Amino acid sequence: MCQAVAQAGFSGTVSVAGRVQRPAPQDLPLRVGGFGGQEGLTRYLQNNGITHVIDATHPFAAQMSRNAIAACAQAGIALIALIRDPWKQEASDRWTHVPDIASAVAALECPPKRILLAVGRMHLQAFTANPQHFYLVRVVDPPDKPLGFPNAHAVVGRGPFTLEADSALLDTHRIDLVVSKNAGGSGAQAKILAARQKGLPVLMIARPFIPKRPEAHSVGDVMRWIDHG
In this prediction, residues 82-98 reach a mean pLDDT of 96
**59 and 112 housed in the same domain:** no
Looking up residue 172, the CATH number of its domain turns out to be 3.40.50.720
Q: Are strands 201-205 and 94-98 parallel, antiparallel or unpaired?
A: parallel
The string over 176-188, giving b where at least 16 C-beta atoms fall within 10 Å of a residue's C-beta and e elsewhere, is bbbbbbbbbeeeb
Q: Is the pLDDT of residue 21 over 80?
A: no
Provide the residue range defining the domain that includes 195. Answer: 94-205
Q: Is the pLDDT of residue 48 over 70?
A: yes
Q: How far apart are CA 23 and CA 30, in angstroms?
A: 9
Q: How many contiguous H segments (helices) and E segments (strands) does the chain have?
A: 7, 11
In this prediction, residues 89-103 reach a mean pLDDT of 97
- CA distances, 199 to each of 26, 62, 94, 192 (Å): 37, 31, 7, 10
Confidence of residue 229 (pLDDT cuts 50, 70, 90): low
**198 and 111 housed in the same domain:** yes
**130 and 220 housed in the same domain:** no
Q: Is the pLDDT of residue 25 over 90?
A: no
Q: Output the CA angle 33-73-213, nearest 5 degrees.
A: 85
In this prediction, residues 55-78 reach a mean pLDDT of 95
